Chains A and B, each alone.
Chain A
Amino acid sequence: MSATPLRPGAEAIAEKGWLVAHKWLIVRRISQVGILLLFLAGPWFGLWIVKGNLSYSYTLNILPLADPYVLLQSLMTGQAPEKLALIGVAVVLAFYLLVGGRTYCSWVCPVNLVTDLANWLRARLGIKGGAHISRKTRYWILAATLVAALATGAIAWEMVNPVTMMHRGLIFGIGLAWAVLLAVFLFDLFVMRHGWCGHLCPVGAFYSLIGKVSVIRVKLPAREACNDCMDCFAVCPEQQVIRPALKAINGAPPVILDANCTNCGRCIDVCSKDVFALGSRFGGTRAYGVAGGRGADGALPSGN
């Protein structure tokens, strides 16, 4: 057993202690489970703080929140939302423009719990290899869902979308949706690493479009301190986003500007050299004298 290489983050745990080396992971899990519990408090305990689900919700009879992606699909079918849904979309768009589009994926989406578990198990069981599908596939699927809505006049994707199926299922009764989630779990476990969230999910693809210009970013204030231990790559669900910022590819600023970074903060946790930190895309980057504009929607990342 002594020959076994250290697991990613072991160095960070030794250096910073377990708690600090899992800080963002813990906060993130609290966020995911907490949001789910807010939705479940009504049906489970009669505490109606939030009504609805991730497609549309109404908090304390004041705050409407609506998923812009599902409403865009509805719009494609020729149907218009009511006022509260429009306000809800505006609030959600503004929020993710601030905190980062795919922050939805790692901090809110319940399917992340499933795929993270699959990925964790995949690493523990040492399952390697599998299918190769381009990470761009999700954008094709995103386009296909919109075309399907236009062609059928129905929000076709919502009939099979594992994301809303899981959230709705947990709150309103799961039915056979568990089978769909099991399929996603098994796909990520055996067929493809980060297969669903990282390659196929059009919900994430949609939110990444918001992420092209969003403010809060993982930054690399100490990228010179990197000792190439590769722990951040090992834990990152979107590995391709790190390299340009870490290795200053084409003079990239020390901030992860790729739209597909989910701001999960796991790289911050596992780095024993504290290369990473959470910050805004503005400020700091200028101090390095590198124009930040290009990187924002810059060249598509290499790798799968």
Chain B
Amino acid sequence: MDNEIKAKGSARRQFLADTARMACGVGLLGLGVGLYARHATALPPAAIRPPGALPETDFSGACIRCGMCVRDCPYNILHLAKPEEPMSTGTPYFVARQLPCEMCEDIPCVKACPTGALDHSLTDINKSRMGLAVLVDHETCLNFLGLRCDICYRVCPVIDKAITLDPQTNARTGKHTLFIPVVHSDHCTGCGKCEKACPTEIAAIKVFPLYMAKGQLSAHYRLGWVEKEKAGGSLVAPDIEHQYNLPEGMKYEVGKGLSTLPPAEPAPAMPGTGSGLPKAFQGGKL
């Protein structure tokens, strides 16, 4: 009887020990895999996801790594990440400098996706946001140097909307115009054609994943001129006329600079009183 109880007890102990060992061993393995997965969900800057790809954190749960998008891409631009590549193994991406997205109107890659990893509600390729082009290097961009390269502007599939040329004075020559390519995030799809076409040795304009390329104003920021337009007038009404706080006997005129006041003007009787003060401090209506 005693032996039976002892045997039962030892069997129970053995069971608990076995279970604990298993749970710890496999738990460690799971922890390792989980941590690795967390690290691998950060997309490297050169890897651009196909059109309609969910934000990276959702994508790594939705993409089952089947490669259907890779197969149905008529231009063979997509790859599946290999284990040694610094992103989620088996997920699709393209490198714009090698082969950019051709922006097919029927978006076959999205249609091929068996999960929601590539959002099937994307039907207009111009609405896709694979990434965002950024003119990263102002020192080597030929247009910044004063040349009329304009290639990024001209190859852009959303020409005059995603990239515009902003004329600025060429301060170096003093008489020419710089045509500065400016990317507009409300139209840029991130296809990467500009990066592919950039003629410099290393592209001056590059496409980055949105999270890297796009800034964001703080939520409480308001643009005064936008608010003014919305309200139909100034919200801090009325604007104060600018006053120059100059030494006595001096005046400032736009375009002319400083000059002494004509001596005909009578000097104020006492400092700190009367008209010697700027208007703003003289009381009355602002």
Interface size on B, residues (CB 8 A): 45
CB contacts (< 8 Å) of A71 on chain B: these are 64, 115
Interface centre among B57, B58, B67, B117 (most CB of A within 10 A): B67
Closest-by-CB residue of A relative to B115 is A81
A82 to B110, CA, bound (A): 11
Q: A207-231 interface mask toward B, CB cutoff 8 Å, 1 = contact, 0 = none?
A: 0000000000000000000000000
Q: Which residues of B contact A57 (CB under 8 A)?
A: 66
Known: A74-B62, A82-B113, A158-B89. A175 touches B22 (CB 8 A): no
Q: Could you tell me if B18 and A153 are in contact, using CB atoms closer than 8 angstroms?
A: no
Q: Nearest-CB distance from B249 to chain A (Å)?
A: 72
Q: Among residues 95 to 119 in chain A, which have CB atoms less than 8 Å away from a CB atom of chain B? A: none
Contacts of B72 in A (CB 8 A): 51
> Is residue A36 contacting chain B, with contact meaning CB distance below 8 A?
no
Are A158 and B66 touching (Cβ within 8 A)? no
Query: Could you tell me the distance in whole angstroms from the C-beta of B247 to the nearest C-beta in chain A?
Result: 66
B65 within 8 A of A: yes
Residues of A within 8 A of B85 (CB): 175
Closest chain B CB from A176 CB (angstroms): 4
- Given that A82-B115, A176-B84 are contacting pairs, would A158 and B22 also be in contact in the complex, using a CB cutoff of 8 Å? no
**Interface size grouping (class) on chain A:** 35 or more
Instruction: Check if A159 is an interface residue, CB within 8 A of chain B.
Output: yes
Contacting pair A156 B89 (CB below 8 A): no
Which residues of the partner chain B approach A82 to less than 8 Å between Cβ atoms?
113-116, 120
Complex contacts, B30 vs chain A, CB 8 Å = 141, 144-145, 147-148
Instruction: List the A side residues contacting B113 at CB < 8 Å.
Output: 82
Whether the pair B34, A148 counts as a contact (CB closer than 8 A) is: yes
> Which residues from A are CB-within-8-Å of B212?
none
CB closest chain-A residue, reference B85: A175
Tell whether, in the assembled complex, residue B90 and residue A164 are in contact, meaning their CB atoms are under 8 Å apart: yes
Least CB separation from B26: chain A residue = A140
Give the Cβ gap from B179 to chain A, nearest Cβ, in Å. 42
A137 to B27, CA, bound (A): 11
CB within 8 A of A158: which of B41, B65, B112?
A: B65
Asked whether, in the complex, the Cβ of A151 is within 8 Å of the Cβ of B33, the reply is: no
Contact at B65–A164, with CB atoms within 8 Å?
Answer: yes
Q: Which residues of B lie under 8 Å from residue A134 when comparing CB positions?
A: 18, 22
Contact A158 B64 (CB under 8 A): yes
A154–B40 CA distance with the chains assembled, in angstroms: 9
B23 within 8 A of A: yes
Q: Is the CB of A154 within 8 A of B88?
A: yes
* Chain B residues whose CB sits within 8 angstroms of the CB of A180 once the complex forms: 83
Min distance, Cβ A292 to any Cβ of chain B, angstroms: 29
Most buried by A among B29, B65, B82: B65
CA distance in complex: A42, B37 (Å): 31
Contacts of A149 in B (CB 8 A): 61
A141 x B29 contact (CB < 8 A): yes
Please tell me if the beta carbons of A56 and B66 are within 8 angstroms of each other in the complex. yes
Contact of A145 with B83 at beta-carbon distance under 8 Å, contacts A77-B62, A134-B22, A172-B70 already known:
no
Contact of B36 among A51, A140, A160 (CB under 8 A): A160
Give the CA-CA distance A81 to B62 in the complex, in Å. Answer: 8
Q: Give every chain A residue within 8 A of B40 (Cβ-Cβ).
A: 154, 159
The verdict on B161 contacting chain A, using a C-beta distance below 8 Å, is: no
> How far is A66 from B64 in the complex, measured between Cα atoms in Å?
10
Contact check, B34 vs A152: say whether CB atoms are below 8 A apart.
yes
Cβ distance B147 to chain A, nearest Cβ, rounded Å = 40
Identify 26 residue pairs between A and B in the complex whose beta-carbon atoms are under 8 Å apart, listed by A's number. Answer: A42-B71, A52-B66, A55-B66, A56-B64, A71-B115, A74-B115, A77-B60, A77-B61, A77-B62, A79-B58, A82-B116, A137-B22, A141-B26, A143-B26, A145-B33, A151-B34, A154-B38, A154-B41, A156-B33, A156-B34, A159-B36, A165-B83, A168-B65, A173-B79, A174-B82, A176-B83
Mark A residues whose CB is within 8 Å of B. 42, 48, 51-53, 55-58, 64, 66-67, 70-71, 74, 77-82, 84-85, 88, 134, 136-137, 140-141, 143-145, 147-149, 151-160, 164-165, 168-169, 171-177, 179-180
3 tightest A-B CB contacts, nearest first: A175-B82, A77-B61, A156-B37
